[in-house]
Amino acid sequence: MKKKREWLWLSLLAIIIILLIPWSVMRWHKYGNFTNDKVIRVLTEDGKILKLPLEEYLIGVVAAEMPAGFGEEALKAQAVAARTYAVKCLNKNLFKDEGYDVDTTVKTQAWLSDKQLRKKWGVLSYLSMLAKVKKSVEGTKGKVLVYDGKYVDAFYHSSSGRKTTEQPEEVWGGSAEGHFQNVVSGEENPLRFKKQFSFSINELAEKLGQAEVQKGLKSGDIKLLSRTKAGRIRSISILGKTYLGTQIRTLLGLASTDFEWLVKSDHIVFTTYGYGHAVGMSQYGANDLANRKYTYDRILEHYYPSTQIKTI
C-alpha cells in the first residue's frame, strides 16, 4: 500500500512537471523577464482594466499596430514609438478618474491580447510571429524618444502616400512642435493605398448633415479653399458650406486628407492617397526603409528629426 501511494505521488509529480515546464517555457518565450518593469493600466474592450508590465503591454501594441511580417528594424522603430507614446500617457494620466492609462483603440494605441494574437496569426504562425515581435520589444527595451528634455508625441500612421508627412498643428490644431517636420514618406510605392469612394448627391449631403439636394451637382459646388504645407486638403467648400479636410475625412470615411474629386451630374467620386492622419512615422515607409538597410534609430531620426533616443 505504501509503495502504491508513493507511486501515485510520483506519477502526480511527473504530470505536474510535464505540464508546468512547457507552460513556463511558453510564458518566458512570450514575455521574458518583465517583472521589474513599469506597470500600465489597460482598459480592454469588455470594460476590464488590466495591470501589465510596460514591456509586456508593448508586445500586444506592436503586434496590433504593425504587421509582424515587416522588417525587424521597422518593428523596433514601432516599439520605440509605441513605448514613448505609452510613457507619455502614463505621465499625463489623462484617464485617472476612470482608473486606466490607455485603452485598446486608436483613441490611444491598439492592443491585442494573447488570445486575439493566436486568432490573428493562427496556430502555425503564432510562435514565430510572437518571437519576432517580442524580439523587437526586447531589442529596444526602455528606449524612448525625447526632445528638449521631454517625451515626444510619437505619432505614427499607416502610409503618407505620395506626399510628405504632416505636422500635428495642421491636423489637430495647436502650436508647432519642433521635432515634427514635413519629411518624405520613405515609401517605395506611393500609390499603395490609392482608393476611390463614390457617393450619390444625396448620400453626400446626408453624410455632411445638409438638406437634400434637389438639383444636379456641378463642379462649382465643390471648391478647394486651402492646402496644408504638405499639400493635403486643409479646407474645402461643399454645397456652400466650409469644412476642414479632417472633417471631410471623418464624415465621409475617407482614407486620408490627400484626396481629389470628380463631379458627375448625379454622384461624386473621391480618390484618396495614403492611409491615416500622416503625422509622424509612416509605418509602410518605415518598412521600406528597413528593407533598404536602415537601422531603427535611423528610421526614427528620419521621421522625428532633432529627437534623441534615451532610456527611461
The predicted structure's pLDDT at residue 220: 87
Look up residue 167 and give its amino acid. Q
Q: What is the rounded CA–CA span in Å between residue 34 and residue 21? A: 19
Residues 253-283: tens digit of each pLDDT: 999 999 999 998 788 999 999 999 999 999 9
The predicted structure's pLDDT at residue 9: 63
Q: What is the mean pLDDT of residues 289-293?
A: 98
B/e letters for 252-291, b = 16+ CB within 10 Å, e = fewer, are: bebbbbbbebeeeeebbebebbbbbbbbbbbbbbbbbbbe
Look up residue 309 and give its amino acid. I
DSSP 213: P
Mean of all residue pLDDT scores within the chain: 90
Residues 31-48: tens digit of each pLDDT: 444 445 799 999 999 999
Q: 299-303 long-range contacts, Cβ below 8 Å, gap at least 24?
A: 299/73, 299/74, 299/77, 299/186, 300/77, 300/80, 300/81, 300/145, 302/183, 302/186, 303/77, 303/156, 303/165, 303/183, 303/186
C-alpha cell at 81: 514609438
In this structure, the strands spanning 156-157 and 281-282 are: parallel
Domain layout of the chain by residue ranges: 32-144, 195-272
pLDDT at 112 over 70: yes
Look up residue 267 and give its amino acid. H
The predicted structure's pLDDT at residue 8: 61
Q: What is the rounded CA–CA span in Å between residue 295 and residue 138? A: 15
**pTM metric for this prediction:** 0.86
The predicted structure's pLDDT at residue 178: 77
Strand blocks (E) in 158-263: 195-200, 222-227, 233-238, 241-244, 259-263
